[in-house]
Amino acid sequence: MSDQLMFMIMGGAAGLFVIVILVYFMLSKKMQKSEYKRIQQLQQGTKENKFSTEVLFQKLYLTYIKIPFIKRYTLKIRRRLEIVNIDDEYNTRKGTAKILTKALVVLIPLIVVTIVLTKSNYLLMFILLIFEIFMIDTFIDGSVDKIDDKILKEQIDFFSEIRHAYHEYNMVEEAIYQVSQDDEMSVSLQGEKIYEILISNDPETELEKYYDIAPNSFLKEFAGLSYLTKEFGDRKVDGASLYLKNVNNITQEMQLEILKRDKLNYVFQSLSLISIAPVLLLEPLKTWAINNFSFTASWYQGKPGTIVQILILILTFASYILVRKLKDNGSTGMNTKNTENPWQAKLYKKKPIKKVVDLFIPKKGSKEYRKVQKYLKDSASHLKMEWLYMNRITMAIVTCIVSIILFAQLHVIAVNYIYTEPTTDYDIMGGLSEKDKKKAMEVTEQDNKILDQFRGKTKQQRTTAQIKMAVQRLKYYEEATDEEIDTVVERIEGKLDVINSEYMQWFELLLAFVFAIVAYMAPIWLLIFQVKMRQLEMEDEVMQFQTIILMLMRIERVNVEIILEWLERYSSIFRAPITKCVNNYEAGPWEALEAMKEEVSYIQFIRIIESLQAAVEKIPIRDAFDELDSERDYYQEKRKESNDRLIKRKGMIGKGIGFVPMITMFVLYLIVPLVFIGLTSMGSSFNSISAMK
């Protein structure tokens, strides 16, 4: 390690220490403000003398929520945790601050070290900072997913204890209350909330509210099942409690879901890293190639290498997003975005912007409008039509502007390389020694003097004789022969041709518009991708419907309408047709079910609809779905096999997407320059040898 690098690291460490001291004093100052004083007053009489991390995280939360960039992540984590920590503001703030603090403890030193070590290479600095942001984003989501998975696993033990308590008290609400009070698990908060709902004056209304904030569908099922049992009573089926049999069915569903998530996490645990790893390997590969094959310097340090770098960055970003979408396991992360007043809504309220956006939005009732609306519904997107088109237009404008800036910068890079490239004949293997490099740079400096004189002049405005005369006037070439002078002139003319050709071309503007169109279509393509991925889970959702029907069909006074309402509540892929059927049910049950059957094409779901139609007009519900109970073991095994196939298919797609940046990097950034430029250099060398003979 060089002394300079050591000093830089020491300087970075000292700078980080100063930042920590400043943050400490800022926090100390903030602690004197009203919000902190209020916390301190509440602690009087109960506060311990020793340091309390509980209070620290509450104070850190108040600080994070005020910092612009960090506020976004704070709210993102909070929206996910407040679903788990229902009505518990203290634990929500504590959990949010804890996760964010861990992320910042890792991120801030990384950023400082990255800036210190790469301050002379802005492209490398940008690449590393992007990589670090991706990594922290993955870390934050992973931390919250662990909390969501933890509560799901706790539900297994919670429901097991509910069974024992129900045997003792023989009352649903008392069993839930007793278990919730005895346990100190996160799920106990959910149990207390369900108990409050069951004993409230209007449990139906409170239950509907709970459905909107429950951490997972299994707690929704348990809450709804407990309410139905309390209202309609329990009964014996084959000598066992129907309520406990249904709780056991929910437990089996949870066990399958836990196994599915564990397998998905195992398959995708490294794919996110693989998809973003190429950005870290760009500079090491470039350095290695130039040091060992110096003829590749013109490619890596010129326009072609920069273009490939940008392409790899774009592919990495797209691959990372798609892999994250593909892995989505339906946890609390599905709907955590600000859907009340996002930036799209704020911009759309401005009249000039609204008029422009409305020009792009298809007319209501048109074929295009219905198609886009269907994409939004089928993908379960939180976006409104106006927000979607705000995204599309914004991405198109930003992409067009960035493309033009990049094209201009590529021309600057090409010109700068001409002015800074060591002028010499490269060997195919190895690089230049320090002595040869110094001599080559002297030649480049002499060439630059001539380039400055004739830069911008076309071939018609300059002559070879003029360039030759300018070269001969240089002191460096006083003793050069005519043949050497002619070689220098030829080289300079070649450089002038390159420099004078580096300006914005009409086709580059055209390409910028093409890229803008691609960016305009990207949000729609992402919706289509999400729809395709959700379609993979059709079978899983239909099997969940079968479990719900199995639980409901033996409960007294449950009818087809109640079953449809439950299916709507837990549906995702088939939500739109089920909602329409529920709305039209009053006008005619059989007709509403027939209309739903015409809208869907999945055969397993059509069979459920036909059984519901039979239950409406001909036979009791338990008879219409009798095969669900008699073939329960078969459906369980089929569900396991279906999950295995889903995970395998998702894994194959994920690997295909995740390895695209890596393959692109090795092919376009390593193999192509080595092979193509190597063959070209060898051809030039053979031609030179032939000419000498």
Q: How far apart are CA 137 and CA 677, in angstroms?
A: 39
Collect all residues with Cβ–Cβ distance below 8 Å to 169 and sequence separation of at least 6: 175, 178
Q: Note the residue count of the chain.
A: 693
Residue 131, C-beta contacts closer than 8 angstroms, at least 6 positions apart: 276, 279, 280
Contact 348, 387 (CB under 8 A): yes
Would you give the end-to-end CA distance of the chain in angstroms?
48
Residue 407: per-residue pLDDT: 87
**Rg of the chain over all Cα atoms, to the nearest angstrom:** 34
Q: Which of 305, 508, 270 is nearest to 404 (CA)?
A: 508
**pLDDT at res. 692:** 55
CB-hemisphere CA count at 13 Å for 177? 12
Nearest 5 degrees, angle CA 545-CA 551-CA 556? Answer: 125
| Residue 267 one-letter amino acid | V
Question: Please, what is the Cα angle at 676 between 288 and 670, to 5 degrees?
Answer: 30
Q: What percent of the chain shows pLDDT beyond 90? A: 3
**What CA–CA distance (Å, rounded) separates 28 from 198?**
46
Contacts 24+ apart (CB under 8 A), 431-436: 431/290, 431/291, 431/292, 431/294, 432/294
Q: Scanning the structure block, which residue is given the tokens 């220490």?
A: 17
Q: Which of 151, 255, 377, 149 is nearest to 643 (CA)?
A: 255
Is there a contact between 421 and 444 (Cβ–Cβ < 8 Å)?
A: yes
Q: What are phi and psi of 195, to 5 degrees?
A: -60, -45
Q: What angle do CA 112, 116, 120 make, to 5 degrees?
A: 140
Do the beta carbons of residue 118 and residue 125 sit within 8 Å? yes
Q: What is the DSSP string of 186-254?
A: THHHHHHHHHHHHTSS-HHHHHHHHHHH-SSHHHHHHHHHHHHHHHH---EETTEEHHHHHHHHHHHHH
What is the residue-wise DSSP string for 534-577? HHTTHHHHHHHHHHHHHHHTTSTT--HHHHHHHHHHH-STTHHH
Two tokens at 233? 């009573």
Residue 132 class from Cβ within 10 Å (0-12 exposed, 13-18 middle, 19+ buried)?
middle
Q: What is the pLDDT of residues 83-129, one digit of tens each?
A: 777 667 788 888 888 888 888 888 888 888 878 777 766 767 777 77
Burial class (CB in 10 A: 0-12, 13-18, 19+), 223: buried
Token digits of residue 310: 């940008």
Mean pLDDT by 10 residues, the chain (693 residues): 54 60 60 53 52 77 83 80 73 83 83 77 73 77 79 87 87 88 77 88 86 83 88 80 87 86 82 79 82 77 82 85 72 45 80 87 86 82 86 91 88 82 59 70 79 77 79 78 81 82 84 92 88 78 85 82 87 84 87 87 85 83 77 74 82 86 86 76 59 53
SS3 call for 158: helix
Distances (CA, A) of 501 to 296, 412, 461, 472, 489: 22, 11, 15, 26, 18
Q: 637: which 2 tokens?
A: 């095994």
Sign of the C-alpha dihedral computed for residues 249, 253, 254 and 255 taken in this order:
positive
- 249-270 tens-digit pLDDT: 888 888 888 888 888 888 887 7
Q: DSSP string covering 318-348, please?
A: HHHHHHHHHH--SSGGGG-S--SS-HHHHHH
User: Hunting for tokens 């060398």 — which residue is that?
Assistant: 685
Q: Residue 74 class from Cβ within 10 Å (0-12 exposed, 13-18 middle, 19+ buried)?
A: buried
**Tell me, what amino acid is at 496?**
L
**The two structure tokens encoding residue 385:** 């039509």
Tokens of 192: 């207390």
Residue 333 has a pLDDT of 39
b/e sequence 567-584, b meaning 16+ C-beta within 10 Å: bbbbbbbbbbbbbebbee
Q: How far apart are CA 299 and CA 413, in angstroms?
A: 12
Cβ atoms of residues 257 and 193 within 8 Å: no
**Do residues 612 and 564 lie in contact, with contact meaning Cβ atoms separated by under 8 Å?**
yes
Which CB contacts under 8 angstroms, 24+ apart, belong to 645-650? 646/260, 646/536, 646/537, 646/539, 646/540, 647/260, 647/263, 647/264, 647/267, 649/536, 650/264, 650/267, 650/268, 650/326, 650/327, 650/533, 650/536
Chain centre distance of CA 69? 17
The tokens describing 196, both together, are 């409050």
Q: Is 480 helix (H, G, I), strand (E, B) or coil?
A: coil
Give domain limits for the chain: 18-35+52-108
Residue type, 87: D
DSSP designation for 476: G
Helix axes 187-198, 203-213, angle to 10 degrees: 160
The residue type at 533: M
The whole-number pLDDT of residue 400 equals 92
Whole-model pTM over 0.85 = no
pLDDT of residue 65: 85
